[in-house]
Structures are given as structure tokens and as C-alpha cells.
A and B are shown apart, each in its own frame.
Chain A
């Protein structure tokens, strides 16, 4: 029991418990309003629809823990998708060679942006903004290499590829969900269990002090952008398989959802603190909110930005208000003593 509690609070005291509370609340309210909400098949669908965001958010957490931001990942999803499609359909690559090519291109893109941020000292926001234009532009150009009109999308992928999204383990659990679970485990272990993760965190708290500790903070910062790019590539692969078509503008609107999930998950936008579990819980909370509101309260799907946006604004304002008054530490002490964690002093 204590072991589980420790795991849950890894990286941040009780924020995760609040997120779990939010999830439980969603299940209770939505479940009561419409029992359909609780059907596993429907829940899995809602998760599947949001999996790219889930996957990318995990690794954007690492970027934001270093104090950076990555708004180019969404464009890499489309780049991956169209690379796979064009390489496979028009250049005669085997589907897996096409996938490997797409991943390599994403790694190069992530490394390029990461290098400019870490070694040239350009702000992450500007570089990844430029990156989002550049990589989505490249994606569009790659799509013009294809004989298929870009708006149609490239389809007809082999079964072995579509298998990624269609196979269900034990006939119930989507295989792509397992990919997410694996990515979650990797991200969790990387950030919380390895020396690398510790370097990421310390660099985010104080890059200067990290240098004085002999940590190569620049390399660490650059590497996080490579990791987030790889996550975007995997998300692009899964999304292409899921939709069955390769398009250059897939994932174009995911940026806000990704940032929201990471920030709501408790990662400090100034860096130095973050939790993979928090990001995962926040992703689920947002996904279920977006799934439950239309299902149970007939809220139009286009309106869903409002509750998500309000959630983001409320959390960020609450957090900065709390950090200036110190009431968050009070709240944390309160919550942690309530759940029997004992009065821990957390500033």
C-alpha cells in the first residue's frame, strides 16, 4: 500500500491524488448521468482517439521539466505520417523500412531544434515555432512527391501495418494502448529512475548549478527534444495506422492538448518539477472530460475547448497565486495528512 502511494506521489506530493480525485469524479458524474459512459469498449474508443496526445505529452513533460517548451511535435506527427505513406507507396519501401525512415527523420528534426535551443541559446518557443512551420512545410512538400493528391491521403496500407491499431489483445484491449503503456513505462523510468532523468530535473531547476555539478546541461536539454520527436514519430505511426491514411497535416491541432496535459499534470512551466504519472492522469482526465460531456450532457464536441481551457487557466492561476502566498504547501500538508501520509514538510 505504501509502495503504491510512493509510486503515485513520485515527483510531486499530492497533485496526483487531486488528479485521481478528478478522474473519480468524472466517472461518478458521467457514469450516473449516462451508464453508457462506463462501457469498456466506449472508454477504449475515447482513449484511442486521444492516444497521440497521450504519447507525446509523456515526453514533452521531459522537455518542460528542463524549462523548455516544444510546440513543433504536432507538425512531426504529420511529417511521420506522410513520410511513411510516400516512402511506401511511391518509393517502393517496405512498410517497416518506411516507418524506420520516418522515425529517423523525426530524430533529425528533434536534434536540429534541440541543438539550436541548447547550444545556440535561442529560446525554445521561437525555435520550435520555426520548427513547426518548417517541418509541416517539409511534410507538405513530401506529399507533393506522391502520385496521390495530398488532400486525399494515402491509404491501402498492408494489414500487418494496420494491425498496430486494429489488433486487440484478449479481444478487448487495443494493441496501441499497450504501446502507450510501454511508452509510459519508459518515460516513467527515464525521468524518475535513471541518472539521466535526474540530470534532466536538475538542469531544469538550475542549469547553471548543473554545470557546476559536472552535468552537461546542454546535451541533456538537446536530448529531451530528440525524445519528444521520437514520441511524436510513434504517435504519427499509430495515428496513421488507426486512421488508415497518411496525410501531411495529421496532428496539426494537437499542440494545445499536449501542453494542457503536461501543465495540468503538475509540471512546472518554469522547469525543475514534473511527473510522468501526473501527465498521464491529466491526459486521461482531459480525454474522459471530452468524451463524457458530449455523451452525457449533449455538449457539442466543438465546445469542448471551453472546459479544457478553463481547467488550464484555473490551474495555472491557482498555482501562481499559491506559490506567492504559500497556501499550496498548506493544502499539500492538509491533503497528505488526510490520506495518512503524515505531515510532510514541503515548501
Chain B
């Protein structure tokens, strides 16, 4: 109790919360298992949610939070395990069934009908009469004290307002369980406050809330209980006031990671920091990030940590010529590449491995060779006009061999490969253009442990050839293992830089969640 109070200083609120807790379990999931192909996402999850509880669910990317919620909503079905609602075992096979059991999820990306009015968005799917719905809607809105223009189109709403409409939709269904999936990730400070106030209102009405978040401060602000998910298991669970911030950070870390953090020293080679940096980014601003400055030296692996939405991907894609530059400069090997077209950026020596492998990286219904050489089509190496199929075969075979990609042939469709082999193909594509700098965005997301090791080996090997790597990752372990230096982004800005000896998961995680406290161990600016 004392610890929690000193952390967030909301004594009164905590007491109030305790008095609300009645042991009336609304929703209980037991031993949920789920795998996609060979990738085990959930390995026996058990959680309970009672009336008036706000269960704060935290965990890194790929920990399985979204998958679990989709199972509760009937979008996926679990491989095994049970869901009980109010003591009765239920079978939720589709979203309709979940709605009938008074569960509603506000998805991370609002699922509104953009061309319909707010009112239509809220009341669609109900069987009651229009006037009855209207009066209920009015009373619900009055209760939570929101004012929304019900007659404007959903497409004109801000993302925060869209989230509010989603919540309204949920409330109209008189839910007993409301799931909020990272509702504040795209909100401004004021909007977050009004949302949190709303959550408290709902809690007072006895609704059980599962609140998924990346922000530890929110856990203390509104959570009554907390659960931490890591690699498909619940690592920590209990009442919020039993935990301190450090406890939560520890829960987010892998078990074998010592908090004091000795790094695998042998992976790094000496970087000569007296050289000219190969990539120099100065006061770089764009949509989603602002005033970013850093250098990357030849042969260096620089980790870029942060949570989803911190602006890392936006920065990388803007460097890569995919979005508008708002200010600052990027210099590659002495050449200014600020605001150049992607094609030019590639030919000047920078390539990018996209975060979203399926939408931005892969040509799923085409072969390995075609995927690997796709970035070479603008250079003359693949022929002037005619396609040099010998060169194509040579290049793609060399990456298949070097990365030990498992394929039945160079014409095998990449859609049929495992996640790890798909990723190796995309990495091969980035390196095929003989770049000086490669930005890898979440290179091991969604791939299994063995393939992850392979990818690490590939990156080490490539670095040894003198290529510099900017490694964007939400997996802190990965950054610890690979980086010579690490940067941390939080809300669109680089908030910390760590030298080799300070790269420990604890520091990275704390900085990524915006709670890093500069003490003796850390570098201060």
C-alpha cells in the first residue's frame, strides 16, 4: 500500500477502489492455448475479471494481448481452454455470441463505418425502435458527460473521438465486460484525461474493464488489478497497490534477464567513433516524430527502442522517402538524402526492412528470387532492359545460402514460407542493393525463437562486412543482445541514448515507457 501511494500519490482513490471490490467474477478465462502454425502465441493463459475491476493488462509487442482479446471476442477460437461468464462455461464462436454475453471490445484501431453518422454508428445492430434507442443514447451520453455531434460523419472525427464513439457503442450494449485495447495510444494529453475519467465512471457502475496499455503510469492511475503478459504467459498478476513501477518493469523482462544486466559482450566489435559517421540525422521532423538527431558510425549496430506509436517507424519511413519531411536533414556518407525519393535513397546506399512485413515487404504470391531482387530492379545490375535471370538467380541463391533460408526452390512462393524465412527473404532484399546503412524495423516480430537466432546471426555477419544497422525493436532483449549503442524514442522524440555498458533491459524499458530516472548508471545529457 505504502509503495503504491508513494508511486502515484492517489491514496483516496485506492481506498475507494478497495471498497468496490466484490468477489463477483464476471469473466474468467482458463488455460487458453493458441498457436498460429508453428508459432505458439498463448501458452495457458488464465485471468479473472470481477465487477468494478479495472484489469490493466500490459506486455510487450507479440506478448499475446491482442490474440487473447480476439479469442474473448470470438474473432479467433482458442486451441484449448475455457471461457466462463458469470460462472457458466460459454462457447464464443463469433463476435455476435460475445455481444450476446455482454462483452464489448473497443479495438485498438476503431472499427467505425466511416461514411455513416456518429448516431448510426452507435445504434446499428440493435433491434429496438429508433426513439427508444435515441433516448437511451441520450441518457448514456448524459451519464458519462460527453458531448459529441451525433450527426457528423465518422470519417471526420479525430482518432480520439472515434475511440469515444466505440466506447459509446459498447455502453449502449449494457456491457458487463468492456475491453479497451490501448485506447490512449493515439490520444493527446487532455483526451487521455477525459478517457480515464470515463473509465472511472464505468467502474463505479460495476462494469468490469480490461484495459490494455503501454503506459505504466496509467496502470497506477486507473488499474485496480494488473496482469503482465510475456511470450504467451501471465508472468505477474495481482492488485495494483501491491506493485511498484520497478516490479512491473521487472515483470516485463524475460525471466533469465538479470536486472543489473550484463550484456553478451562478445557480440560487439570495437567501433571507431573517431571516423566520420555514415548516417547523420539532424533536427529531423516529420509526421509522428520531431527534432530527432543522431549519428551512426560505420560498422555499428544502433538499437532504437520505444513502444508502438513512439514514432520510430514514421521516422524510418520518412528517411526512406515514403512521407513528407517537415524539417531537419539526413546525410548519408556526406550526401544529403533529405526528402529524396525511395528509389534514390536506395541507390545512394540506404535500405529499409519494413515493420509491416505483409503489407510493405512481401510479394506473397511470387517466388523467393523475385522477392529478393525486387529492390534491384531500378539498378542496372539486373540488366538494362531485359531481365538478367542469371544475375537474379545468383543474387537470390547467394542470400538463400548465406542466410540458410529454407526453400524448396527459388521459385517457391514466399507466402508459403515460415515467418522466419520470409523475414530472411526481406532482409536479403534490403542487403542486395549493397547498402551502407540498413534500417531494420522489428525484424523478429512474429517469428519463432530458432529463426530469431538465425536473423541475429545474419545481422552480426552483415555488420562484420562493414554495413551499419539501425535496429528498431520493441523487443528490449534484442536490442541488448545486438546493439553497440541504443537510442530510445518516446512520444516522437529521442529521450535517451545509452552507451554499450548501459544497454540493459531495465533502462531501455523504463525509458521506452517514459519513466527512466537518470541515476548513477545512466548517461545524462
Q: Which of B377, B386, B413 contacts A215 (CB 8 A)?
A: B377
B416 contacts chain A at the CB level, 8 A cutoff: yes
Within 8 A of B (CB), among A189-229: 189, 193-199, 201-202, 205-206, 208-216
A344 contacts chain B at the CB level, 8 A cutoff: yes
Q: How many residues of A contact B (CB 8 A)?
A: 28
Residues of B within 8 A of A (CB): 320, 322, 342-343, 345-347, 352, 354, 359-366, 370, 374-375, 377-378, 382-383, 385-387, 408-409, 412-413, 415-416, 429
Known: A208-B360, A216-B343. A347 touches B374 (CB 8 A): no
Q: Which residues of A contact B322 (CB under 8 A)?
A: 211-212
Contact B361 A198 (CB under 8 A): no
Residue of A nearest to B433 (CB): A214
A273 contacts chain B at the CB level, 8 A cutoff: yes
CB < 8 Å A-B pair total: 87
Contact A199 B387 (CB under 8 A): no
Known: A205-B366, A345-B408, A345-B412. A195 touches B360 (CB 8 A): no
Contact A347 B413 (CB under 8 A): yes
Compute how far the CA of A126 lies from the CA of B352 in the bound complex, rounded to whole angstroms.
Answer: 35
A39 contacts chain B at the CB level, 8 A cutoff: no
Q: Which residues of B contact A347 (CB under 8 A)?
A: 365, 413, 415-416
Contact B360 A345 (CB under 8 A): no
Whole-angstrom distance between the Cβ of A158 and the nearest chain B Cβ: 36
Compute how far the CA of A212 lies from the CA of B346 in the bound complex, rounded to whole angstroms.
Answer: 10
A298 contacts chain B at the CB level, 8 A cutoff: no
Contact A205 B361 (CB under 8 A): no
Whole-angstrom distance between the Cβ of B384 and the nearest chain A Cβ: 8
Q: Which residues of B contact A198 (CB under 8 A)?
A: 370, 374, 377, 387
A251 contacts chain B at the CB level, 8 A cutoff: no
Contact B366 A272 (CB under 8 A): yes
Q: Which residues of A contact B361 (CB under 8 A)?
A: 209, 212
Q: Which residues of B contact A199 (CB under 8 A)?
A: 377
Q: Which residues of A contact B370 (CB under 8 A)?
A: 198, 201-202
Contact A205 B352 (CB under 8 A): no
A338 contacts chain B at the CB level, 8 A cutoff: no
Q: Which of A197, A202, A208 contacts B374 (CB 8 A)?
A: A202
Q: 3 smallest A-B Cβ distances: which pairs?
A: A347-B416, A214-B343, A205-B363
Contact B342 A211 (CB under 8 A): yes
A346 contacts chain B at the CB level, 8 A cutoff: yes
Contact A214 B413 (CB under 8 A): no
Contact A195 B365 (CB under 8 A): no
Q: Which residues of B contact A272 (CB under 8 A)?
A: 363, 365-366
Contact A205 B364 (CB under 8 A): yes
Compute how far the CA of A167 lies from the CA of B161 in the bound complex, rounded to whole angstroms.
Answer: 71
Contact B387 A197 (CB under 8 A): yes
Within 8 A of B (CB), among A325-347: 344-347
Compute how far the CA of A202 lies from the CA of B345 in the bound complex, rounded to whole angstroms.
Answer: 20
28 contacts between A and B (CB under 8 A): A189-B386, A193-B386, A193-B387, A195-B386, A196-B385, A197-B387, A198-B370, A198-B374, A198-B377, A198-B387, A202-B374, A205-B363, A206-B362, A208-B359, A209-B360, A209-B361, A209-B362, A210-B374, A212-B322, A213-B375, A214-B375, A214-B377, A215-B378, A216-B343, A272-B366, A344-B408, A345-B409, A345-B416
Compute how far the CA of A313 lies from the CA of B378 in the bound complex, rounded to whole angstroms.
Answer: 39
Known: A211-B322, A213-B429, A347-B415. A195 touches B382 (CB 8 A): yes
Compute how far the CA of A274 lies from the CA of B409 in the bound complex, rounded to whole angstroms.
Answer: 20
Whole-angstrom distance between the Cβ of B416 and the nearest chain A Cβ: 4
Contact A212 B342 (CB under 8 A): yes
Q: Which residues of B contact A189 (CB under 8 A)?
A: 386
Compute how far the CA of A212 lies from the CA of B354 in the bound complex, rounded to whole angstroms.
Answer: 8
Q: Which residues of A contact B345 (CB under 8 A)?
A: 214
Within 8 A of B (CB), among A54-85: none
Query: Known pairs A214-B346, A215-B378, A347-B415. 19 more at Cβ < 8 A?
Result: A195-B387, A196-B385, A198-B374, A198-B377, A201-B366, A201-B370, A206-B362, A206-B363, A208-B359, A209-B361, A209-B363, A211-B342, A212-B360, A214-B377, A215-B377, A216-B343, A273-B365, A345-B416, A347-B416
Contact A195 B383 (CB under 8 A): yes
Contact A202 B366 (CB under 8 A): yes
Whole-angstrom distance between the Cβ of B261 and the nearest chain A Cβ: 35
Whole-angstrom distance between the Cβ of B435 and the nearest chain A Cβ: 12
Residue of B nearest to A210 (CB): B374
Residue of A nearest to B415 (CB): A347
Q: Which residues of A contact B387 (CB under 8 A)?
A: 193-195, 197-198
Q: Which residues of B contact A268 (CB under 8 A)?
A: 365
Q: Which residues of A contact B343 (CB under 8 A)?
A: 214-216
Whole-angstrom distance between the Cβ of B366 and the nearest chain A Cβ: 6
Q: Which of A193, A202, A345 contacts B363 (CB 8 A)?
A: A202
Whole-angstrom distance between the Cβ of A156 and the nearest chain B Cβ: 42
